[in-house]
């Protein structure tokens, strides 16, 4: 796989075809330029116009942006709207009632469709049901569900009532779940009995029971359970309810609760460089505007499209580009329960063929694993399927290496479909830097240029612009409507993490980046201690805390190592409380610790390798030198200066892998 250097020498440029440009929502460089200039000339006017054109407000806003308490920006702050109304009722009113909103395909291939009318009715019935239980605007819910129409219903129903949801990825452990329940102050949980992925059933509800057993969850008065498999689950009579019983007998209309544009639609936890995951708080108005708008800009969404984003609703991509954006834009979308490799690695291609998908959005880690699988099994190669319905393909989650880009472009996109490589984050709410498919010439491995209204730049540690071609910190110089509002319950941490004083008011993304002579952005990865494993963010601190919580462990340091498949792999250096184990014993303890981390955080955090040492490389002031451990983890010899190290000999010991 290529390194950053080879990425930067990439010179191929793939221009959009004349046919694509001709039909595009934003067509040709002049149209893009005009939008950028409008944003530059009249920032408030630009965003105000878009917010009026793309959303319906129950109370129109009079002020676009309030910067008086920066960086706690307020957008459309005196306006009111309802997110679910904008996603559902609006579609009933504008002729989409009988249009399919969701094509759901289960793990075993069963297909269920819901029109906008169906979805509206289900959301209303469920919202009425939870309202009848006493839940109301301002309450917080935890959603811990598999990929399903029901998960979208749960999110939309909360939005309809002004209940702030926090979705926890179904792959997270009971411990992670409990921390989020406590931090967000949830009073309602919506979950399922089990989930089905790759031909296996995986329990969900038991994790709720475990979370309760850990304590701190007393504020939760109801647990609503979607019956996915009918598998046996423990039941707490006064507390637990089936989702179908909650909906039973409820009317299929429900008055949407109008909320202020700044009302928190959701809190989504993501890893930072220090401490516990941060609860990223998003707004209702600004967030939804950007979700709807980027569907039309980035994905060039048209009424006839069949759109498919393969993300899970537990991640931000599944929020913006499954639960909210596509519905607000009136799309028909595919929601998939399963995994890309079951029953075989042709599953994605088979589904595109079967549903005649036109827009396909996935992650580099999935692409890389499918490249490998199709090399091993030629009959699961995309060329074996009819993918002629596709007209646009996208990528998200981590930098896509040029080799994977070319494979995707050639074999999935048939050199016909533009690739939109979208750089954004949980905190940004939606796309930030990516090609406009009817405008931008594509360079494999570059996310290209910022969207209109997004003032992205690369600066040094004092906030000064760096010259083109020189790397630096990726920042966003002006606020944007879908931006993070705060860290739930911790405004100080929000300021410190994203608006450090030295940068003079710029949003610090936490990524290193470079810009080439054409002004194209090349993302180089995180500048902090955040790992990116299969497109999922993981704090080194989180994994370290999990390890030291094990009774055997005295100390632990975690670093990322480049990995062909997952982008980065977790490597842990561990000092045990007892003596350093011999090889046989080490293998056994490593296995135990890997399972421990899975239990504490979830399978994505499981270290690929664990090495044991008598101690860790530390400076004289006691700081662990992770920089050196990164070199050791790669199996390379440390050539950097180690003169500040207290114990240089440890590097040799840790360098000997098992
Ligand atoms: C949407 C999402 C955000 C981090 C981000 C960056 C990396 C995401 C990328 C990309 C290069 C892309 N990242 N997309 N790097 N090119 N197209 O993934 O959100 O989980 O918060 O991760 O992922 O490092 O800072 P999130």
**Domain spans in the chain, listed from the N-terminal domain onward:** 534-655
The alpha carbon of 568 and the centre of ligand 1 are apart by a number of angstroms equal to 13
pLDDT number for residue 384: 97
pLDDT number for residue 9: 57
pLDDT number for residue 5: 42
Residue 584 or residue 263, greater confidence: 263
Q: Which CATH architecture has domain 534-655?
A: 2-Layer Sandwich (3.30)
Task: Please choose, from the candidates 497, 521, 572, 11, the residue with its C-alpha nearest in 3D space to the C-alpha of residue 272.
Answer: 497
pTM as predicted? 0.92
Residue 277 or residue 30, greater confidence: 30
- pLDDT exceeds cutoff 80 at 275: no
pLDDT number for residue 3: 35
pLDDT number for residue 156: 99
- 2, 424, 450, best to mutate for ligand 1 pocket (most atoms within 8 Å of CB): 424
The alpha carbon of 397 and the centre of ligand 1 are apart by a number of angstroms equal to 4
Per-residue pLDDT averaged across 502-529, rounded? 92
ipTM of the complex: 1.00
Q: Using alpha carbons only, what angle is made at residue 113 by residues 110 and 115, rounded to the nearest 5 degrees? A: 175
**Is 421 annotated to bind ligand?**
yes
270 close to ligand 1 (CB < 6 Angstrom): yes
65: DSSP letter: E
Per-residue pLDDT averaged across 35-59, rounded? 98
Using H for helix, E for strand and C for coil, what is the string for 16-64? CCHHHHHHCCCCCHHHHHHHHHHHHHCHHHHHHHHHHHHCCCCECCCCC
What tokens were used for 13? 């440029």
- pLDDT exceeds cutoff 60 at 488: yes
- pLDDT exceeds cutoff 50 at 2: no
Residue bearing the CA closest to ligand 1, atom 26: 425
Instruction: Calculate the average pLDDT of the chain.
Output: 94
- pLDDT exceeds cutoff 80 at 620: no
Residue 623 banded pLDDT, cuts 50, 70, 90 = confident
- 270, 425, 442, 521, best to mutate for ligand 1 pocket (most atoms within 8 Å of CB): 425
DSSP string, 230-265: -------TTTEEEHHHHHTT--S--PPPPEETTS--
pLDDT number for residue 269: 97
Residue 401 or residue 38, greater confidence: 38
Residue pair 446/421 in contact (Cβ under 8 Å)? The answer is yes
- Our measurement of the distance from residue 125's CA atom to the centroid of its chain's CA atoms, rounded to an integer in Å, reads 29
Q: How far apart are CA 164 and CA 151, in angstroms?
A: 15
312 close to ligand 1 (CB < 6 Angstrom): no
pLDDT number for residue 8: 52
366 contacts: CB under 8 Å, gap ≥ 6? 310, 340, 348
- pLDDT exceeds cutoff 90 at 91: yes
Give the containing element (helix H, strand E) for 93: helix 90-93
41 contacts: CB under 8 Å, gap ≥ 6? none
pLDDT number for residue 383: 96
> By percentage, how much of the chain surpasses pLDDT 90?
86
**Is 57 annotated to bind ligand?**
no
As a whole number of Å, the CA-based R_g of the chain is 24
What tokens were used for 45? 């006017």
Q: What ligand 1 atom has the least distance to the C-alpha of 535? A: 18
pLDDT number for residue 657: 56
597 contacts: CB under 8 Å, gap ≥ 6? 543, 546, 547, 572, 605, 606, 607
401 close to ligand 1 (CB < 6 Angstrom): no
Task: Please choose, from the candidates 173, 261, 183, the residue with its C-alpha nearest in 3D space to the C-alpha of residue 605.
Answer: 173
What burial letters (b/e) apply to 578-587, b meaning 16+ CB within 10 Å? eeebeeeebe
- pLDDT exceeds cutoff 50 at 4: no
- pLDDT exceeds cutoff 90 at 318: yes
Q: How far apart are CA 431 and CA 481, in angstroms?
A: 12
**Is 194 annotated to bind ligand?**
no
Residue 6 banded pLDDT, cuts 50, 70, 90 = very low
pLDDT number for residue 516: 94
């Amino acid at each position: 796989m290529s390194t950053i250097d080879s990425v930067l020498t990439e010179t191929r440029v793939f221009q959009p075809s004349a046919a694509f440009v001709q039909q595009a929502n934003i067509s040709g460089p002049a149209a893009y330029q005009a939008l950028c200039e409008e944003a530059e000339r009249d920032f408030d006017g630009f965003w105000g116009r878009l917010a009026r054109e793309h959303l319906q407000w129950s109370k129109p806003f009079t002020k676009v942006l309030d910067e008086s308490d920066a960086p706690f920006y307020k957008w459309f702050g005196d306006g009111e709207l309802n997110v679910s109304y904008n996603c559902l009722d609006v579609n009933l009113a504008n002729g989409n009632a009988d249009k399919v909103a969701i094509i759901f395909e289960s793990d075993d291939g069963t297909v269920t469709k819901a029109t906008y009318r169906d979805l509206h009715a289900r959301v209303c019935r469920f919202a009425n049901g939870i309202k009848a239980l006493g839940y109301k605007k301002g309450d917080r819910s935890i959603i811990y569900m598999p990929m399903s129409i029901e998960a979208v219903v749960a999110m939309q129903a909360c939005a309809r009532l002004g209940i702030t949801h926090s979705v926890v990825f179904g792959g997270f452990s009971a411990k992670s779940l409990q921390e989020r329940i406590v931090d967000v102050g949830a009073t309602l949980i919506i979950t399922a009995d089990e989930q089905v992925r790759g031909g296996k059933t995986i329990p969900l509800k038991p994790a709720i029971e475990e979370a309760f057993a850990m304590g701190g969850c007393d504020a939760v008065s109801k647990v609503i359970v979607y019956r996915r498999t009918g598998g046996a689950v423990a039941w707490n009579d006064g507390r637990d309810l089936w989702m179908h019983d909650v909906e039973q007998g409820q009317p299929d209309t429900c008055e949407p609760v109008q909320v202020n544009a700044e009302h928190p639609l959701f809190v989504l936890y993501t890893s930072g460089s220090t401490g516990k995951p941060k609860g990223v708080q998003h707004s209702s108005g600004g967030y939804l505007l950007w979700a709807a708008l980027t569907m039309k800009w980035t994905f060039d969404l048209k009424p006839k499209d069949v759109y498919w984003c393969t993300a899970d609703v537990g991640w931000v991509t599944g929020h913006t580009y499954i639960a909210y954006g596509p519905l607000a834009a009136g799309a028909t979308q595919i929601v998939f329960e399963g995994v890309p490799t079951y029953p075989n690695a042709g599953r994605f291609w088979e589904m595109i063929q079967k549903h005649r998908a036109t827009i396909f959005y996935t992650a580099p880690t999935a692409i890389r694993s499918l490249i490998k699988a199709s090399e091993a099994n030629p009959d699961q190669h995309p060329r074996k399927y009819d993918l002629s319905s596709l007209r646009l393909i996208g990528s998200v989650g981590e930098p896509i290496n040029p080799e994977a880009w070319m494979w995707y472009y050639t074999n999935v996109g048939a050199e016909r479909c533009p690739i939109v490589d979208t750089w954004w984050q949980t905190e940004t709410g939606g796309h930030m830097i990516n090609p406009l498919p009817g405008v931008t010439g594509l360079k494999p491995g570059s996310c290209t240029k910022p969207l209109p209204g997004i003032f992205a730049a690369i600066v040094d540690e004092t906030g000064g612009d760096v010259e083109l071609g020189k790397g630096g910190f990726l920042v966003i110089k002006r606020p944007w409507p879908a931006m993070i509002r705060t860290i739930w319950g911790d405004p100080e941490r929000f300021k410190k993490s994203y608006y450090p004083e030295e940068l003079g008011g710029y949003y610090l993304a936490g990524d290193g980046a470079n810009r080439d002579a054409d002004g194209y952005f090349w993302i180089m990865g995180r500048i902090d201690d955040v790992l990116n494993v299969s497109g999922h963010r993981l704090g080194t601190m989180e994994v370290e805390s999990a390890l030291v919580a094990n009774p055997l462990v005295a100390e632990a340091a975690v670093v990322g190592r480049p990995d062909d498949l997952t982008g980065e792999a977790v490597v842990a250096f561990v000092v045990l409380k007892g003596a350093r184990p011999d090889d046989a014993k080490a293998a056994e303890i490593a296995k135990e610790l890997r399972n421990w981390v899975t239990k504490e955080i979830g399978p994505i955090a499981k270290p690929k390798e664990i090495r044991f040492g008598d101690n860790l490389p530390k400076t004289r002031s006691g700081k662990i030198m992770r920089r050196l451990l990164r070199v050791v983890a790669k199996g390379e010899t440390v050539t950097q200066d180690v003169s500040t190290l207290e114990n240089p000999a440890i590097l040799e010991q840790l360098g000997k892998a098992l």
